[in-house]
Structure 1
Amino acid sequence: MRIRIADELLMFLPATRRESARRVAYDGTSTLGHLVESLGVPLPEVGPMTVRGERVAPSARPDAGEEVLVEAVPRPQPVPLEPGQAAPRFLLDVHLGTLARRMRLLGLDTAYHNDMDDPALVVQANEERRVLLTQDRGLLRRRALWFGAYVRGSRPDDQLRDLLERFAPVLAPWTRCTACNGPLAEVDKRDVERDLEAGTRRSYDVYGRCVDCGQVYWRGAHGGHLEEIVRDAARVVADARPGGNGATGTGPTPATVSE
């Protein structure tokens, strides 16, 4: 059997064997999905697979002499939503902490734990119907995982762009706590004065507070940098979504905490 891999998926193959077309020994019983994963490509990264121009499922068992075309997941990729769910929810593995904070800055419902192992991540992703984002290929190959995606890039800027281009989510900047993912609400300065340094009280009058953890936010020294991240994200989403647009929501204030 000959398997032709899309260029976008060659990164998952061993560096010395990244030919787009591969001849694979076929025993007649293995599924197509098993063969593709045996090459190193996680199935959550695989889009349409075709034999002689016809779509086939990962469970298919083509004839030994066939050529199979394996494409990457189309972008933007839709995410199945539960009844009453307005937007995708995400869960990030332990290595993507900075990306998690940036996603929360953009108003994306983003769960993150710095001490959760792989089985627990799969359980939470499945129970809460969250898209599991990771750079662990083995984690993506877990059969129990309902929906996962590989995050491309080593820098947070590149990782965020990859996430936005892949899912083109609706953004609601400044509406979530970057520390815990809770919703932000506007708050009267008098209600938070006791929690502020004297210089902050003198310099700022508009504040927000996390409904869940109580973290207080205001337009501080990092505001300009965070606003730039939000503007860039809105442009990326607008470009990724045919006929769509970027950010749609607003929140109380830019956060002073680090992104």
Structure 2
Amino acid sequence: MDSVTERDARLRIAAELRMFLPVIRRREWQRVTTDGTSTLGHHVESLGIPLTEAGPMLSDGRGVAPSHLLAPGETVEVHPMPRPQPLPAEPRFLLDVHLGTLARRLRLLGVDTAYHNDMDDPALVVQANEERRVLLTQDRGLLRRRALWLGAYVRGSRPADQLRDVLERFEPPLAPWTRCTACNGVLVPATKEEVGPLLEAGTRRSYDAYARCGDCGQVYWQGAHSDTLEEIVQSARIWANSR
């Protein structure tokens, strides 16, 4: 680590948070210069770590808030957000435009998940705040918006890894096959007679059990892709039961 001057403080960054640091600074100890006005939260974010990902911060074993003003020579340990992350109510999510596949998988599991493929950042923040949804994104700039009530960075590049990350962090209750993967509406049972006019002739001949979205009217049945979807559901159930 670089030499420490009289005005410097040190931050000890937990291993789980170092992925947010620039590659050339991806190390445990970070030196920051105190100025009497910049908060601990400001210094943490200046390193590249969204405050949504930072959990307990300890100065000499004492918990301090992001609003804490660092003193010269002070050392603060920055830990990751605890998992599962406590929330004031059952988790409800809003995903940004780059997480469409994750949104469909969460809905498949019955998790209340809002998603739009044409919503800009300010609109996302407004909806998240109004509906008290956790905004999930891989955009660190979006997580740094001061107006946002609560957000979280989604780890992983593959949808399966992203899903596991969200389930591990928030532990939402699972109710597979109860939500529309297209619009997030609640599915209700439907008879073949009710949905018959909406089906292809081959589908009507091959299947008897149906459900329909109460919001958009989308019809669901156990079709050609059901094995793949069931595999996602079963993997999530196995993980949830192992917690």
Q: Could you state the TM-score of these two structures normalised by the residue count of structure 2?
A: 0.95
Give the SS at the match of 1:78: coil
Give the SS at the match of 1:24: strand
Q: Provide, for residues 35-56 of structure 1, a one-character-per-residue CA deviation record: whole Å limited to 9, x for no partner.
A: 1001000000000000000100
Paired position in structure 1 for 2:99: 96
Matched ranges for 1:1-259 at <5 A: 1-81=9-89, 87-240=90-243
In structure 2, stretches of 5+ residues that fail to align are: 1-8
Q: How far apart are residue 102 of structure 1 and its match?
A: 0.4
Q: Take 1:212 and 1:192, find their aligned partners in 2: how far apart are those partners?
A: 15
Amino acid at match of 2:228: H
Tell me how many residue pairs correspond in the alignment.
235
Q: Take 2:237 and 2:61, find their aligned partners in 1: how far apart are those partners?
A: 37
Q: Could you state the TM-score of these two structures normalised by the residue count of structure 1?
A: 0.89
Give the SS at the match of 2:45: helix
Give the SS at the match of 2:172: coil
Amino acid at match of 1:102: R
Q: Take 1:44 and 1:237, find their aligned partners in 2: how far apart are those partners?
A: 24
Q: Take 1:224 and 1:92, find their aligned partners in 2: how far apart are those partners?
A: 26
Q: How far apart are residue 88 of structure 1 and its match?
A: 1.4
Q: Take 1:63 and 1:39, find their aligned partners in 2: how far apart are those partners?
A: 18
Is the Cα contact below 8 Å between 2:34 and 2:70 reproduced in 1? no
Q: Take 1:64 and 1:141, find their aligned partners in 2: how far apart are those partners?
A: 26
Q: How far apart are residue 78 of structure 1 and its match?
A: 1.5
Q: How far apart are residue 210 of structure 1 and its match?
A: 0.3
Is the Cα contact below 8 Å between 2:97 and 2:116 reproduced in 1? yes
Provide the alpha-carbon RMSD of the alignment: 0.8
Paired position in structure 2 for 1:243: none
In structure 1, stretches of 5+ residues that fail to align are: 82-86, 241-259
Is the Cα contact below 8 Å between 2:190 and 2:212 reproduced in 1? yes
